[in-house]
Amino acid sequence: MEIKKLGVLGCGQMGAGIVQVFAQAGYDVIAVDTVPAMLEKGLKGIDKRLAGRVEKGKLSEDEKKAIMGRIKTSTNLKDLADCDLVEEAAPEDLELKKRLFAELDGICKPGTIFGSNTSGLSVTDMAVATKRGDRVMGMHFHNPAPVMQLLEVVRTIMTSQEAIDAVKKWGATLGKTVVVAPDVGGFIVTRLFTPFLLGAVRMLEAGIATRDEIDVSMKLAVNHPMGPLEVVDFIGLDTELSIAESLYRETKEAKYAPPVLLRKMVTAGWLGRKTGKGFYDYK
């Protein structure tokens, strides 16, 4: 089971980052998004990040051109038909992901492996929307994908060992450390990290500490590059709410219950960096 030709479905923040990871590793990759503006924005973001590496002397101009040359774009899912592996990077909406996988199943060749970049939704539910449950798994890259070194591969009870072994071997060629997690809510990273982020929101909500006190304390005392409220803004408050709701439904554990403040901010449209306002003002 050889993985050479890659596809990414969805070219938002995570999708574009994953496209960059694939192209930097020397693979030809096609990015598909039904919204042309998302493809344009995604490519501009990749070009900007690579230009920054050129400026810092970490990449040559010729290498940058070669990476960009390996990326193709399309608004048609049918252009993913010949891919050996397709990574889905759509919004965290289970019904949407199930519909996309069902459609891909009718388009892609029988041997194509399907991965989902979900950070906590049931991969099994996605797999049963296809007729290739043995080749469906979670492939959770972490944000920002070109920087973060972990690839969390999520195995369902249907995923074959052959597919897992192929993806582990391929993942190493991306320069990532691969861990295999079971298909339980939040897998490894999100299951551990979500209570920490929600705890910061609750602390702010209760007036125990200010936004800056919370974030500065965690950066300086624990050596985190970003404070927890900065991280929630980076992830997106709506995404964090969706993750918390999913984990709480599955576990019924209070530590995953979304804080009222988080819900109200999402209702107000304060979703973090992507809208210009969250716990911080980016305008």
Q: How many CA atoms lie within 13 A of 240 on its CB side?
A: 33
The CA distance from 2 to 274, in Å, is 37
Q: Note the pTM of the prediction, 2 decimals.
A: 0.89
Residue 102 in any domain: the answer is yes
Give the total residue count for the chain.
283
Residue 244 in any domain: the answer is yes
**Contact between 135 and 113 (Cβ < 8 Å):** yes
Domains contained in the chain, number: 2
Residue 86 in any domain: the answer is yes
Q: Which of 251, 214, 207 is nearest to 231 (CA)?
A: 214
Q: What are the phi and psi torsion angles at 183 (to 5°)?
A: -80, 70
E-assigned strands of the chain?
A: 6-9, 29-32, 71-74, 85-88, 113-116, 136-141, 150-155, 177-182
Q: What is the pLDDT of residues 106-165, one digit of tens each?
A: 999 999 999 999 988 999 999 999 999 999 999 999 989 999 999 999 999 999 999 999
CATH of the domain at 25: 3.40.50.720
Regarding whether 115 and 42 lie in a shared domain, the answer is yes
Residue 280 in any domain: the answer is no
Regarding whether 160 and 266 lie in a shared domain, the answer is no
Residue 207 DSSP code: T
Regarding whether 133 and 203 lie in a shared domain, the answer is no
For residue 97, give its domain range: 6-182
Q: What is the pLDDT of residues 45-90, one digit of tens each?
A: 999 999 999 999 999 999 999 999 999 999 999 999 999 999 999 9
